[in-house]
Homo-oligomer: A and B are copies of this chain.
Amino acid sequence: MGPGPSDINPRVLQAMATPVVGHLDPEFVQIMDDIKVMTQQTFRTSNELTFTVSAPGSAGMETCLVNLLEPADEAVICIHGVFGGRMADIAERCGAKVWRVEAPWGEPIDPSQVKDALEQCSPKLVAIVHAETSTGVLQPLDEISSMTHDAGALLVVDAVTSYCGTELNVDDWGIDAIYSGTQKCLSAPPGLSPVSFSQRAVEALEQRSTKVQSWFLDLSLVKNYWAGAKRAYHHTAPVSAMFALREAYRIVLEEGLEARFLRHRDNHKLLRDGLEQRGFEFLVDEPYRLPMLNAVKLPQGVDDASTRSRLLNEFNIEVGGGLGNFAGKIWRIGLMGESCNPDHIDKLFHALDSILN
C-alpha cells in the first residue's frame, strides 16, 4: 500500500517466468504488437507512435522531453510536487529555457497561471503531471490543454500514477506526449514505461535540427524497432518484463477500464472514511484527490518512522512517507491496481488500531 510498486497478479508473475525468446523472434514481435494495441486502448488513443520504453517511468519522462526539446527551445513546466520539479531539471539538461509555473504542494496548478506564462513566452511544449505521486493531487487538464494548443504548443503529460486507475483520455484531451509506469495501477513489475506521441508531436520530432541527446531514448531509432515492416535492432528489449506487461494489460482489459476506475473510487471512499474516523486528515481538497494515492496528515502524537516501521515489520504493510517538506508529516497510502481492494484496507485499519491504541 505504498506509492508503488503495487501487488502483482500471479498470472503476471507466471507469464514473466516463461522461458525467453529472442528480441527479434517473430513470436516476440507479435507480443510487441499486442502490447502496442493494448497500450493504445488503455491510453484511449489511436496514436501510431505508441510503444514501451525499456526502462522505468522516469526514463519515459526523459524520452518525452529529450525528443521534443532542442537547445534554446522554450518550455513551460508546471510544478506542484517532486515530479514536476524533475521535468524542469530534465528540460534544462536539454538546453531548453524553462518557465516554471508553480503551485503549493497539495494543490493543483491554476490554469490562469499557465495562461500568464503562455503570454510571456513562445514555448514548444507545456508539461504537467496528471497525478502527482508526491502529493496525491489529481490535476484537471482540459483548460490547460486548450490554452496550450491555442498557443501553438504541445501538451506533455505525466500519467505514471493515474494510468489504468482513473479517467485518462489521451486523444479527447489533446495530449501530445504521455508517459506512464507499469508498477502503479497497471500492476505489472516496475521497469517499463508506456509512451505515446500524437501526430503533432511526431511532426515536431521530424522537424528537429539536432540529434536527440540520448541515443538510447532517440525515437527516430526506437520507432524502427517498434514499427515498420522490418524491425530494426536498436537495443535488446527486456523480454521477460514484456511477457509480464502483456498479461497485466489483459487483466486490465478483462476488468474493463470504467469498472477499474470505479473500483479505485469505491475503495478510496472506504479508506477515506476509516482514516478520517481514526484522526487522519486528507492533505488535498476533495475535488482534486487521487483515488489511488491518498496523502493524509498524521494525527497529533503519531510518529512517522516508528509507526511505518511497525506496519512493515509486524503487519507486512508498506505505506509511503512524505517527500520534501512533507517528510515526517504525511503518509502516502496507495490503492493501486491489484492492491486496491477492501481486504488490504481492512488489514491496514486493523494494524493501525493495534499500533495506535
The 0/1 profile, CB within 8 Å of B marked 1, for residues 86-99 of chain A is 10011011100000
Contact B4 A236 (CB under 8 A): yes
CB-CB < 8 A to A16: which residues of B?
A: 16-17, 240
Minimum CB–CB distance for A64 against chain B, Å: 12
- Give the Cβ gap from A28 to chain B, nearest Cβ, in Å: 10
Is A213 an interface residue when CB atoms closer than 8 A count as contact? Answer: yes
A239 within 8 A of partner (CB): yes
Q: How far is the CB of A270 from chain B (nearest CB, A)?
A: 23
Is residue A312 within 8 Å, beta carbon to beta carbon, of the partner chain?
yes
Q: How far is the CA of A14 from the CA of B14 in the complex (A)?
A: 9
- Min C-beta distance of A88 to chain B, whole Å: 10
Copies in the complex: 2
**A108 in contact (CB, < 8 A):** no
- Given the interface contacts A213-B213, A241-B241, does A236 sit within 8 Å of B25 by beta carbon? no
Distance A312 CA – B21 CA, assembled complex (angstroms): 11
Residues on B with C-beta less than 8 A from A5 are 20, 22-23, 236, 239
- In the complex, what residues of B have CB within 8 A of residue A17's CB? 13-14, 16-17
Chain A, residues 19-62, CB within 8 Å of chain B (1/0): the string is: 11111011000000000000000000000000000111111001
A23→B190 CA distance, assembly (Å):
9
Which residue of chain B has the shortest Cβ distance to A20 in the bound complex?
Answer: B5
Residues on the B chain within 8 Å of A93, using CB = 211-215
Which residue on chain B has the smallest CB distance to residue A187?
A: B20
Q: Is the CB of A54 within 8 A of B239?
A: no
A125 → chain B closest CB, angstroms: 17
- The answer to whether A235 touches B23, judged by C-beta atoms less than 8 angstroms apart, is no
In the complex, what distance in Å separates the CA atom of A306 from the CA atom of B181? 39
Contact A57 B318 (CB under 8 A): no
Q: Which residues of B contact A8 (CB under 8 A)?
A: 19-20, 240
Check B2 against A235 for contact (C-beta < 8 Å): no
Residues of chain B within 8 A (CB-CB) of A239 are: 5, 189-191
CB of A238 closer than 8 Å to a CB of B: yes
Q: A55-B54, A93-B213 are in contact. Are A22 and B7 (CB under 8 A)?
A: no
**Interfacial chain B residues near A253, Cβ < 8 Å:** none
**Residues of chain B contacted by A59 (CB below 8 angstroms):** 54-55, 216, 235
A240 to B242, CA, bound (A): 12
A144 CB to nearest B CB, Å: 24
- A67: interface (CB < 8 Å): no
Q: A8-B19, A58-B236, A238-B238 are in contact. List 13 more A-B contacts (CB 8 A).
A: A5-B23, A8-B20, A26-B312, A57-B235, A57-B236, A59-B216, A89-B215, A90-B215, A92-B211, A191-B237, A191-B239, A213-B214, A240-B244
In the complex, the 8 A-B pairs of residues with the closest C-beta atoms, listed nearest first = A191-B238, A55-B55, A189-B240, A17-B17, A13-B17, A58-B235, A190-B236, A90-B215
Sample 9 A-B pairs with CB under 8 A, ordered by A number: A4-B236, A20-B190, A55-B59, A58-B235, A59-B216, A66-B214, A90-B215, A238-B238, A240-B244
